[in-house]
Amino acid sequence: MGRNRNETPVPALVQPAATSSSTRSYLVRRLQPHLPPWLGVAGLGLTGALGNWRWEGSAAAGVGLTLASVALTGATWWAGKSTSQQRRLHSAITVAAGSAWLTGACLAGPVTGALDDLYLIGGPVIALSWNVRLMLRTSDPAGESADKGLLERVGLARAQIGAAKVEPNRVTAPMLLDAGTQTNDDVAKALPGIASALDVPRTAVRYQPDPDSERRGELVIVPRDMLADTVRWEEAGPAFPGGSITDPLILGVYDDGAPLALWLPGNKKAGRNATHLLIAGMTGSGKGDGALNLMTEILTRTDVIMWLSDPKGFQDFRPLLPAYDWAVEGGADTEIMVEAVKAVIPARTGWLGSHKYRQWEAAAAKPQTDPKHSCHDDGTACGCPGLPFHVVWFEEAGVSLGLLGDDAFNSIANLARSAGMALVVSLQRPSHDQISTTTRDALGGRLCFGVPNATAAGFMLPDSVLDAGAAPERWANRRPGYNYLVTPGIPEERYASPGRTRWFTEESVSLMETVAQWAARNGAKVDPVTDKAAETVAGRAYIDRRRVDVDAPDTEDDDVIDETEPLVDDEDEGIDPEQELPELGDGADAPLVQETGHKPDPAEARQLLAQAIAEFEAAGRMVIGPKDFTDWCDRNGYSRPWVSERLKEAYLEGRLADAGRGRWRIVQQMSHA
């Protein structure tokens, strides 16, 4: 997975700071534009000495030099008509002062009277004034022609590039477009040409428009791909083990070396909204490793619980199973989990509201000892148990959406953020046939890995990010782990900057198992509010959910025989194994279950149906539909339409609740509750 660094030549616009090996050439190149004024002063002094040797005391030479000085000053003023007023005046004063001193030096001698002092003081002042003027210009002459030529080649000839800000492997240059003829969209269209002219990858050039102007923005160029070298997850591990979910979740690095981070809870002081997250990428793009990066970050925080739905049977996440509060493998179990989430949301928002939290914050996860967050009317501290943050993760959500429909996700995606919950939805292609636009927009945050084409990129990334230069289709699955992150809490100019998540190898499994064991012992436990709401809806499916007791002693192997135990049951102790079996009598081969041919009457059928519903409930299957009664219909001679009508009757009686798409959720009876 390791890659060699690409050594790319960097043009004048994007030259980073010089290294020690090129210090001399760098200094020479930087000093060259400032040498002409000093060369002019030196030449003026030499000319004065030669002129004095030739014309000392000559009246005719004095007249000629005076006229020449006046003519040269006038010509300079006239030639400066096309320049700025400041440059015109500066040039004329320089020429007038220099020609006046030269006239005096030629006639009287350069060291006569005050002429030498004027030369030693005035000469450097004149030269330095031009040096200062050069440094205050908006662009460097050494790179001006190259930059102008670059912009001209890409169709932005009238645009202006300001002084570039050079950082390690990142150059940011302000751009000012021609008023009335150029817009920020023109720069977005020209980005491929700029990348070609600079000989860098297309993803190395981005443009961030100024939101307050249609002709201003910043051109960002990253000359060298710092993501080429793969970083293994086990080399660093989780970023903040034992920290809070409010700390940043570090997934990897950006292409300039900055940490790739996101947040799920909101923060009012930081101006950051809570968010859900949509993860997408084609097969082989590194989406699985990216999910593991995020998941291990979440599971090592002490104020968060996680529910997981994975139709792949925990293929990637099995080492982490002890850390989940509830994990299901998809299908009917995911239906139950979704129904539980629907019930948990109002219970959690009610708790937050009664404890005076406008949104979830870290203090909500701790026992409520602060009177400001008390549910008591008298203002005293209530001491209620805290409410941990709650992450619900739907892996390969395209499968779940196909079974449940978009309505199931729409309702929870729009309300869960207010309840201190975050949904993480992961799938390969978030197209309209996989996930609705409403649900996709409600998820907010996007972690986009390589995709097969620009159309797929448009499903994940906003148009403004694509216009700024983001192009995940350029990688496809050839650079696993490369991604774009769009989420609250990071600057918008970072949205179009590629990052890379860390790589999980076979050696990382043992560390993942250690993380899971640590989380099971030290992580947050489900709160009473969430626990009661989920149990009320999901019943045995939640009560008997997958849990791993990390403190339980190792059990004995079932294949090991205890030599102290008898090998034969007591009732079989007198049987001789060598004796022949007795002959079968008449009727001994009759079936144990006789076909009666009896069809239950309507009242009996309703009773049998109610009994079947109770059996589903006892088995933990809390979401059912007519197709689940196929075997029952075959045994009793009834059709699925008949079952559908009876289920509707049970719904009217309050035994079932509508779960959508022709499915029903079993409502626990008081005796069961």
Q: Enter the tokens of residue 365.
A: 């996860």
pLDDT at 586: 52
Q: What pLDDT score was predicted for residue 625?
A: 84
Q: Are strands 165-167 and 160-161 parallel, antiparallel or unpaired?
A: unpaired
Q: Where are the CATH 3.40.50.300 domain residues in the chain?
A: 233-538
Residue 276 belongs to what H/E stretch?
strand 276-280
pLDDT higher than 70, residue 397:
yes
Q: What is the mean pLDDT of residues 284-294?
A: 94
Alpha carbon 634 to its chain centroid, in Å, reads: 52
| DSSP letter, residue 503 | B
pTM of the entire structure? 0.66
User: Residue range 301-309: average pLDDT?
Assistant: 96
Backbone angles phi, psi at 664, to 5 degrees: -130, 140
- Looking at residue 351, its pLDDT comes to 96
What is the mean predicted confidence (pLDDT) over 203-231? 84
| CB-CB contact of 65 with 102 (8 Å) | yes
Long-range CB contact pairs, 23-29, < 8 A, 24+: 29/142
Q: What is the pLDDT of residues 238-281, one digit of tens each?
A: 999 999 999 999 999 998 888 999 999 999 888 899 999 999 99
Euclidean distance between CA atoms 299 and 70, whole angstroms: 83
Angle formed by the axes of helices 141-153 and 184-198, nearest 10°: 110
Closest CA to 288 of 546, 512, 518, 522: 512
> What average pLDDT does the segment 582-591 reach?
50
Distance between CA atoms of 157 and 568, rounded to whole angstroms? 97
**Edge-to-edge strands of the sheet including 276-280?**
259-262, 249-254, 499-501, 482-486, 444-449, 276-280, 421-427, 389-394, 304-309, 326-328
| C-alpha span between 94 and 190 (Å, rounded) | 43
User: Among residues 652, 650, 603, 607, which one has the least CA distance to residue 626?
Assistant: 650
pLDDT at 388 over 60: yes
User: How many Å apart are CA 203 and CA 70, to the nearest integer?
Assistant: 58
Judged by DSSP in three states, 638 sits in coil
Is the pLDDT score of 543 beyond 90? Answer: no
Residue 172's φ and ψ, nearest 5 degrees, are: -120, 120
pLDDT digit string, tens, across residues 612-668? 888 888 877 888 888 888 888 888 778 888 888 888 888 888 888 887 767 888 887
For residue 449, the one-letter residue type is F
Domain 233-538 class? Answer: alpha beta
Split at pLDDT 50, 70, 90, the class of 317 is very high
| Helix H or strand E segment including 328 | strand 326-328
Give the residue with greater pLDDT, 550 vs 307.
Answer: 307
Q: Which of 613, 584, 595, 627 is nearest to 672 (CA)?
A: 613
Nearest to 624 by CA among 328, 311, 309, 332: 332
274 closest CA partner among 344, 392, 361: 361
CB 444 within 8 A of CB 485: no
Q: Which part of the chain has CATH 1.10.10?
A: 601-673
Does domain 601-673 match CATH 1.10.10?
yes
Is the pLDDT at 405 greater than 50, yes or no?
yes
In the numeric block, the tokens 């978030």 are attached to: 430
Report the distance separating Cα 515 and Cα 508, nearest Å. 11
Q: Please state whether beta strands 326-328 and 249-254 pair in parallel, antiparallel, or not at all (unpaired).
A: unpaired
Among candidate residues 399, 427, 426, 409, the one with its CA nearest the CA of residue 331:
399
Which residue has 């081969």 as its token pair? 589
Domain 141-221 maps to which CATH number in 3.30.980.40, 3.40.50.10490, 3.30.460.10, 3.40.50.720? 3.30.980.40
Say what the pLDDT of residue 76 is. Answer: 80
Write the CB contacts of 414 (distance below 8 Å, at least 6 apart in sequence).
Answer: 442
Count Cβ neighbours within 10 Å for each residue of 16-47 and write b for 16 or more, e otherwise: eeeeeeeeeeeeeeeeeebeebbeebeebbee
Range name among 3-17, 480-494, 576-590, 591-605 with the lowest pLDDT average: 3-17
The region of weakest confidence among 292-296, 417-421, 657-661 is 657-661
Instruction: Judge contact between 184 and 209, C-beta under 8 A.
Output: yes
Work out the pLDDT band at 360, boundaries 50, 70, 90. Answer: very high
Dist CA 318 CA 308 (whole Å): 11
Instruction: To the nearest 10°, report the CA torsion of 442, 445, 447, 450.
Output: 50
Q: What is the pLDDT of residue 252?
A: 92
Asked if the model's pLDDT at residue 584 lies above 80, the reply is: no
How confident is residue 346, by pLDDT bands cut at 50, 70 and 90?
Answer: very high
* Percentage of the chain modeled with pLDDT above 70: 84
Mean pLDDT of 558-563: 46
Residue 186 pLDDT exceeds 70: yes
Reported as a single tens digit per residue, the pLDDT across 429-456 is 888 778 888 888 888 899 999 999 999 9
202 versus 254: which is more confidently predicted? 254
**Cα–Cα nearest to 177, from 154, 193, 190, 158:** 158
pLDDT for residue 581:
53
CATH 3.30.980.40-classified regions of the chain: 141-221
